[in-house]
A = this chain, B = another copy of it.
């Protein structure tokens, strides 16, 4: 017995899929009973349940979420805006978001902003049409328009969580929950590590991506700490393009431009740092002997090269897990999501440890 296509019995506008009504007819009950069965089976008599169950697989019925959400007034979509879904640094966070939401009854709507605040705002505007139940955005820098949208959502009870950031001096308070770590402090840790190794002439290689504010902040923290300790410090910006190549070119610069004075370099991510390490090895610069290098992110390759790349391990997956946790908690309790600090961990390997190379 198939759903008929041609001259149909009950004239319908929508696509021909079975509806609650069809199931109800087949089971000899009304729509509401079927609806109830779908959401709270225990409120339906056992015998009725059986009939409905049979009717459901007979018709091949699937609940239409859109209709349900329209009627109930709350969507089951969690929107997450990530600078670059595929980038090594965010991959695990995204994975954790998906993992955490799986089975919660909420669906993850994942958006790549391409590290562009304008793009983020556009996406947000498109998203609000979906009336997401919660927003997860990356970082605390947004256009005025984005802040307005998120603020409106937040003040009408929609959880808004900013991930991958958590400045200690939350002077700037948009009131959104922040889940992550202090990037200035991360930069400071990097500087401290190099200083502790006896370096007094430092450099920070910033991300070539203009809107990677978090990398810039790490640089600021790095420079501030270096100066505080009386060391010299240079900040250079990596070229755009392949990160390994960028790292290589930066190293060339350091060598050719007579910046040999620099002995300790921190990079805004491990790929840059590893590119520099490879370049150093090929041009016979000893690491860490002549030059100590460290990265950020603890990407797999950093552990593989010799000497291993010292780095800061950010709580990549934890950020995702915690964000979902907060969102779900907030959704369930009605209270706003709260901020959580998740610190980085310093991973020391051969690229900064004199004893090792």
Residue positions of A touching B, CB distance < 8 A: 13-17, 60, 62-67, 69-70, 73-75, 84-88, 90-92, 94-95, 98, 107-112, 125-126, 128-131, 152, 156, 242-245, 248, 271, 274-275, 278, 282, 300-301, 303-306
Question: CB within 8 A of A300: which of B94, B243, B300?
Answer: B243
- Contact of A14 with B275 in the complex, beta carbons under 8 Å: no
Known contacts A14-B73, A92-B86, A94-B85: does B109 contact A107 (CB below 8 Å)? yes
CB distance from A319 to the nearest CB of B (A): 14
- Contact of A73 with B13 in the complex, beta carbons under 8 Å: yes
- Contact of B112 with A95 in the complex, beta carbons under 8 Å: yes
- Contact of B70 with A67 in the complex, beta carbons under 8 Å: yes
Give the number of copies in the complex: 2
Closest to A247 in B: B304
Q: Which residues of B contact A74 (CB under 8 A)?
A: 15
Q: Which residues of B contact A300 (CB under 8 A)?
A: 242-244, 271
Closest to A271 in B: B300
Q: Which residues of B contact A73 (CB under 8 A)?
A: 13-15
Question: CB within 8 A of A244: which of B62, B85, B130, B301?
Answer: B301
Question: CB within 8 A of A129: which of B13, B63, B90?
Answer: B63
Closest to A277 in B: B304
Known: A15-B156, A63-B129, A107-B109; 16 extra A-B contacts, CB below 8 A, are A14-B73, A15-B131, A64-B129, A64-B131, A66-B69, A66-B75, A85-B110, A86-B86, A88-B88, A107-B130, A110-B110, A245-B304, A248-B304, A271-B300, A275-B304, A278-B306
Closest to A75 in B: B66
Bound CA–CA A107/B111 (angstroms): 9
Bound CA–CA A245/B14 (angstroms): 54
Closest to A306 in B: B282
Closest to A3 in B: B156
CB distance from A264 to the nearest CB of B (A): 23
Question: CB within 8 A of A86: which of B17, B75, B91?
Answer: B91
- Contact of B109 with A109 in the complex, beta carbons under 8 Å: yes
Q: Which residues of B contact A90 (CB under 8 A)?
A: 86
- Contact of A304 with B15 in the complex, beta carbons under 8 Å: no
Q: Which residues of B contact A301 (CB under 8 A)?
A: 244, 301
Bound CA–CA A274/B246 (angstroms): 20
Q: Which residues of B contact A248 (CB under 8 A)?
A: 304
Q: Which residues of B contact A95 (CB under 8 A)?
A: 84-86, 112
Q: Which residues of B contact A107 (CB under 8 A)?
A: 109, 126, 130
Bound CA–CA A156/B98 (angstroms): 29
Known contacts A112-B98, A156-B16, A243-B300: does B91 contact A85 (CB below 8 Å)? yes
Q: Which residues of B contact A94 (CB under 8 A)?
A: 85-86, 112
